[in-house]
Amino acid sequence: MTRKYFGTDGIRGRVGEAPITPEFVIHLGYSAGKVLTSSDWHLSKGERPAVLIGKDTRISGYMLESALQAGLSAAGVDVLLSGPMPTPAVAYLTRALRLQAGIVISASHNPFEDNGIKFFSALGTKLPDATEQEIEAGLNAPLKAMPSAQLGKARRVNDARGRYIEFCKSTFPNHLDLRGLRIVVDCAHGATYQIAGPVLHELGAEVVAIGIHPDGLNINHECGATHGATLQEAVRHHQADIGVALDGDGDRVIMTDGEGVLYDGDQLIYLIAKHRKQNGLLKGGVAGTLMTNLAIENGLKKLDISFARANVGDRYVLELLQIKNWQLGGEGSGHIICLDKHTTGDGIISALQVLYAIRDSGKTLAELASDVTLYPQQLINVRVPKGFDAHNSLAIKTAQTEAESDLDTTGRVLLRASGTEPLIRVMVEGESGQKVKHWAEKIAEVVRNAAAERSVEKAVPN
């Protein structure tokens, strides 16, 4: 069964446009509630299933929270409300409070005009495809509220923030602290605005917190993990030792050293893996994606660390980790998964793993990262006719083969279709920036010509 609404990270879209409307979200809450009540959740006799709802700081969160609550209550499910809370915090609290599911209202790194709904299971993991399909199937059924005596109730979880702060701190070694470090943390005016600063402060750091004044409209706006320039400027201005930038829902992180040099998710994963390898703490290898920089793969090989690539998306990285029984993986965007610390990607906990390596080694972030330099990478999007398959074109195959032969082991070529638009993404990377630029432009032009020929063929009647 193909999912109509659920993508790789829940349901997401522009607020006020289908499916992110109050009407749809009420039905979504009701359908999810019915799936919960119809499943064996090991509840005691007479006990009602309960779900936690958290959200980021978007103004639309109030509206969608109320709609979800109404739908769940109509289905006979109790609702716990945490208020603004990072996505990984909802995953943790769902598990810690022994609830049947967790729901996050967030569009992650997107602008405030967007919002979304994503679910976590009782174990703090993303829902299986089959469960999401069951929820979608229920959207076609009429909404019929339970009898009044069986309606769900709602209450606030007043200590949610404190619980999560303590959980994050527990992932940092007890014998170490952050005293003597001045850290700038950019919370993107998002869900970590009351959490990231206190975590670092309580571990001993001198903290300069920015992006901590959400107004419902400024989440991710020229700040956070998707706009590193703001962090770089703040680190230099405050003469900080380290900078940490999170995205709107707290599951992504990028960092800077004291000079304001940015380090993306690929580099941070490498640093964590190297530190764990040196200390005998690395279980298995590292999972990246098709877009992970080749320099990281080669660097890990030199350290005798296995590496494997998943499709783009933290969901697929997690699946690969589970298949291989590994613990560490992620993406260049800053989604980093440390399965020995949490069930999902967590920006704060990932930053703490990097800080652990810094404190344990006595080296700076720049020193730790000095042995790996990212290869130049160029990505060109080529618009193509709907249904166009680049792998069926001999001209494209020939151009790709020529590029791979020229780049040899010092580079690679990746062609992949966009999952949301009629585009072929042409990505070339390698040690030589000149070669990367040349082959990216040449292959993109070949793809463009092949697509044009396909359009002409379709236009000519038989």
| pLDDT at site 461 | 57
**HSE-up (13 A, CA, CB side) for residue 266:** 20
Which residue, among 358, 159, 330, has the nearest Cα to 244 in the 3D structure?
A: 358
**Cβ proximity of 72 and 32 under 8 Å:** yes
Asked if pLDDT for residue 458 goes beyond 90, the answer is: no
Examine the pLDDT at 302 and tell me if it is beyond 80: yes
Q: Does domain 11-158 have CATH number 3.40.120.10?
A: yes
164-368: CATH number: 3.40.120.10
Share above pLDDT 70 across residues of the chain, in percent, rounded to a whole number: 96
pTM of this prediction? 0.92
CATH 3.40.120.10 domain position(s) in the chain: 11-158, 164-368
Interval 190-246: pLDDT, tens: 999 999 999 999 999 999 999 999 999 999 999 999 999 999 999 999 999 999 999
Q: Which CATH superfamily is domain 377-459 in?
A: Alpha-D-phosphohexomutase, C-terminal domain (3.30.310.50)
Mean pLDDT, the chain, whole residue set: 94
* pLDDT of 462 above 60: no
- The reply to whether 251 sits in an annotated binding site is yes
Token reading at 242: 């380290």
- For residue 460, what pLDDT is reported? 56
For the chain, residues classed under CATH 3.30.310.50 are 377-459
Which pLDDT band holds residue 386 (cuts at 50, 70, 90)? Answer: confident
Catalytic annotation on 108? yes
Give the integer Cα–Cα distance in Å for 187 and 167.
Answer: 18
In this structure, of 40-49, 61-70, 346-355, 413-422, the range with the lowest mean pLDDT score is 40-49
Could you report the per-residue pLDDT of 4-44, keeping only the tens digit for each? Answer: 899 878 999 999 999 999 999 999 999 999 997 776 555 65
Ligand-binding site membership of 304 (annotated): no
- Selecting among 60, 108, 333, 393, the annotated active-site residue is 108
Q: Which residues pair with 155 in a beta bridge?
A: 80
Q: Is the peptide bond before 49 cis (omega within 30 degrees of 0)?
A: no
Q: Name the helix (H) or strand (E) containing 363.
A: none
The annotation status of 56 as a binding-site residue, yes or no, is no
Nearest to 111 by CA among 271, 1, 220: 220
* Among candidate residues 413, 367, 416, 374, the one with its CA nearest the CA of residue 391: 416
pLDDT digits (tens, 9 = 90+) for 319-348: 999 999 999 999 999 999 999 999 999 999
pLDDT of residue 420 exceeding 90, the answer is no
360-381 per-position pLDDT tens digit: 999 999 999 999 999 999 999 9
pLDDT band at 129, cuts 50/70/90? Answer: confident
Please indicate if the annotation marks 106 as binding a ligand: no
